[in-house]
Structure 1
Amino acid sequence: MSTGMHRRERLTTAANPDARHDYLIILAGEPRPGVRLEVRYVPDRWIVEPAGFAAYLDALADLPGGLEALALAALDDVNNELVPRWAEVRAEAADPVPHRVVVEDRQPGWDNPHFFARLERL
C-alpha cells in the first residue's frame, strides 16, 4: 500500500445531504507545527467528515517536501476521495518568511460564476 493510499483512508466521507446545490465547505488545521492547511471545496456526491479530516492532518505530518508538496498531495487526495465539483488547497507558514501555496482544481465543465464572485469576498 502506498503512503498516499494510507493518508487517503483517513479522509472518511459521508453522502452529500443535498447534491442539488453548490455550497462551500472549509476545513482547516495544522498538519505540522507552524503550518496551516486549509481545504475549501464544493462537494458533489461526498463530503469529508470533520473527524476524518483531523485524522488526515495527522497522516500529513511526516510528508516529505515543502509547502508545495503538501498542497499538491492534499489536492490529489481530496480529488481522489471526494471528486468534488471544485477544490482549493492552501498551505501557509510564517517561518522563516511568509510563504503561501494555493492550488485548485475543478470537474471538467463545472462552472458557477455567481459562486466564484461570492467566494472572492470570503
Structure 2
Amino acid sequence: MRRERLSTRPSPDARHDFLVELRGEPLPGVRLTLRLVPDLLVPDPASVVTYLAEFAGYADGLEALAVAILDDINNELVPRWVEVAVESDTPLPHRVVIEDRQPAWDNPRLVGRLRPL
C-alpha cells in the first residue's frame, strides 16, 4: 500500500499558514513538485522519498500520476491547500498541475506570493 509509506508528524503550529515544498522524481525523467499548506500534520520528507519509489513502473500517464499523488496526500495529511505538479521532457515537454484545498480555507496573500512552477 503506497499511502502507508507516507509518514507525518504534528504541525509545529497549526494556527499559522506556512508553505511546505518538496521535490522528487517518482519515475526516471519525471519531476515532481509538491507544495502544501499543512493543517494538523506535516509530511516527513524521508518518507516522501520512500513513497515516490512506489511509483516505479507506473505507466498510466502524467495526469493519472498527478491525481494519484494528490489523492494520497489529501488522505494522509489532509492539508489546507495542496498543489501537485509533474513534468517530463520526453517525448515532448508535458506538464500537469493539479490543486485542491479545504472548502473553508483561503489565504490569497500566501497563494499570491507563490512563484509559478
TM-score for the superposition, normalised by structure 2: 0.95
Alpha-carbon distance, 1:47 to partner: 0.6
1:14 to 6, 9, 13: 9
Structure 1's consecutive aligned runs of 4 or more residues displaced over 3 angstroms after TM superposition are none
Task: Give aligned-pair identity as a percent.
Answer: 60
What is the total number of aligned residue pairs between the two structures?
Answer: 117
Would the aligned equivalents of 2:27 and 2:58 in 1 still touch at CA under 8 Å? no
Alignment of 1:82-121 (within 5 A): 82-120=77-115
TM-score for the superposition, normalised by structure 1: 0.92
Give the unaligned 5+ runs of structure 2: none
Residue equivalent to 1:47: 42
> Secondary structure of 1:104's match?
strand
Q: d(CA) in 2 for partners of 1:99 and 1:121?
A: 16
Q: d(CA) in 1 for partners of 2:7 and 2:14?
A: 18
Q: Which has the higher helix share?
A: 1
1:78 to 59, 73, 76: 73
Alpha-carbon distance, 1:38 to partner: 1.3
